Amino acid sequence: MATKPTILVVDDEVRSVEALTRVLEDDFDVLRATSAAAAEALLEKEWVQVILCDQRMPETTGVEFLSRVRQQWPEVIRMIISGYTDSEDIIEAINEAGIYQFISKPWTPSDLLLKLHNAVDLFRLQRENEQLSIELKLKPATLSDSLQEKRRVLQARFDWDQGIVRAPDSPLNAVCDTVRTVSTYDVNVMVCGESGTGKELFARALHYNSLRGDKPFVAENCGALPDDLLESELFGHKRGAFTGAVEDRIGLFERANGGTIFLDEVGDISPAFQVKLLRVLQEGEIRPLGSNTRRSVDVRVLAATHRDLKEEVRSGRFRQDLFFRLATFSIAIPPLRERRTDIPVLAQSLLQEAMRTLGKTVRGITHEALACLQAYDWPGNVRELQNEIKRMLVLAPTDQLGAELISPHILRGTTEEAAEALDLLAGIDGSLKERMESLEARIVKETLI
């Protein structure tokens, strides 16, 4: 009989510990502790895969305790359960304790079990990754490339969820759960969402968590190329097929054989090319430009678009039969304005990334600046927020990113509530319009100086 994974539940409320134990004990070996000290004593002598810890305890917080766990037992997957979702605590936990997942109260047994099984899978994948690291040192050079590829696939499988930075109550939680479910089925998937929402990130997650995860993943932006070049890119060409074709070239469908091809902005392709793509999906064959020979391909197709393809079908601009071939299953990525609770956490994460890229370090982002960022609608979504954080970091004269560094057009798009938050910093009197104008003038002046 297989050994059950071991979960350590830490909560000072005995009734909470008992309730969690009743839910978990069929699937896991459950260790229980009612204090951080008792939990650390258990960790000294037991092999634990996952810790599920309450945030509020009398002698310490869950974040503080899990920070210590991260230092002494870094391989243990750390999860926190909390009845409140203050953004500062979330940011602190991500930075200091390396929390894998937040679980909000009241939790449901099915959701809790799903998240814990995912955490155990993550622990297992980390162990496999460590084993591959050892093998890389011991195996001869001829096997190195193969092991590196296995390691890359494992890394992608357990990193993607943590890479999608979000708040505990984020709408992206449901999207991530859907990705986990759909990725195990070999069906074509349409990923819908506005530009900048991270559609390719989710497409990669679908690939690396599938049975094709150790095979190629190739991507092409269909909206960036005219038909003739797009056909050559996807299907390949023979030497002499057109001016400049000086040698045979394999297309992306053949490069992705056995794996996944990601067709970004598929809603932008012309009606003529839609027919060619449909034929490939129907027959599982491609014909390179200039060739009379068809070649079989075994490829899973993931597509993405910022357009409403159902409306495009109704208007006749997109073929209905092609839509059904591409969208066996659809996943919608919500825009940033529909998940404002993610913005403070995401801004801090993007700041860490920008500091690494630009080689400049600051302590963080002020509350006033976060209030303004959270109040803006972000039509460019995460990509626009990323650019704004980089801009603020470049301009920052001190070790904190304040509201005075935010672009004027973003300030104009914020709410009265955010403007009031700015007043705490700027000390500006007058109407909202006057305050905004005064602040914008100050920004221009300080930038010129």
- What pLDDT does 335 receive? 96
Encode pLDDT of 205-227 as tens digits. 899 888 888 888 999 999 888 88
- What pLDDT does 133 receive? 56
The answer for residues whose C-beta is within 8 angstroms of residue 308's C-beta and 6 or more apart is none
Burial of 128 (0-12, 13-18, 19+ CB in 10 A): middle
The dihedral sign for the CA sequence 19, 20, 21, 26: positive
Angle ∠(201,205,206) on CA atoms, nearest 5: 120
CATH superfamily of this structure's domain 172-334: P-loop containing nucleotide triphosphate hydrolases (3.40.50.300)
Q: Are 196 and 334 in contact (CB under 8 A)?
A: no
Q: Are 27 and 4 in contact (CB under 8 A)?
A: yes
Closest CA to 150 of 168, 174, 132: 132
285: tokens are: 């064959």
Q: Are 17 and 43 in contact (CB under 8 A)?
A: no
pTM of the predicted model as reported, rounded to 2 decimal places: 0.64
Alpha helices (runs of H) in 61-209, residue ranges in sequence order: 62-72, 87-92, 109-138, 144-163, 172-183, 199-208
Same fold, 172-334 and 338-448: no
The DSSP code sequence of 118-148 is: HHHHHHHHHHHHHHHHHHHHHS-GGGHHHHH
380: tokens are: 């460019």
Q: What is the pairing mode between strands 50-54 and 77-82?
A: parallel
33: tokens are: 């502790």
Q: In whole angstroms, how far apart are CA 127 and each of 43, 79, 100, 210?
A: 18, 18, 16, 19
- What pLDDT does 417 receive? 47
CATH number given to 338-448: 1.10.8.60
- Fold of the 6-163 domain: Rossmann fold (3.40.50)
Q: What is the pairing mode between strands 50-54 and 285-286?
A: unpaired
Cα 387 to Cα 385: distance, rounded to the nearest angstrom? 5
Q: What is the pairing mode between strands 189-192 and 101-104?
A: unpaired
Query: Taking the domains of the chain in order of start, what are their residue ranges?
Result: 6-163, 172-334, 338-448
Q: Is 257 left (phi over 0), alpha (psi -120 to 50) or beta?
A: beta
- What pLDDT does 190 receive? 97
Residues of the chain with pLDDT under 50: 1, 87, 142-143, 147, 158, 416-417, 421, 424-428, 431-432, 443, 446-447, 449
Encode pLDDT of 391-420 as tens digits. 999 999 999 999 999 999 898 877 544 555
- What pLDDT does 438 receive? 58
- What pLDDT does 379 receive? 94
- What pLDDT does 447 receive? 47
Cα 226 to Cα 283: distance, rounded to the nearest angstrom? 24
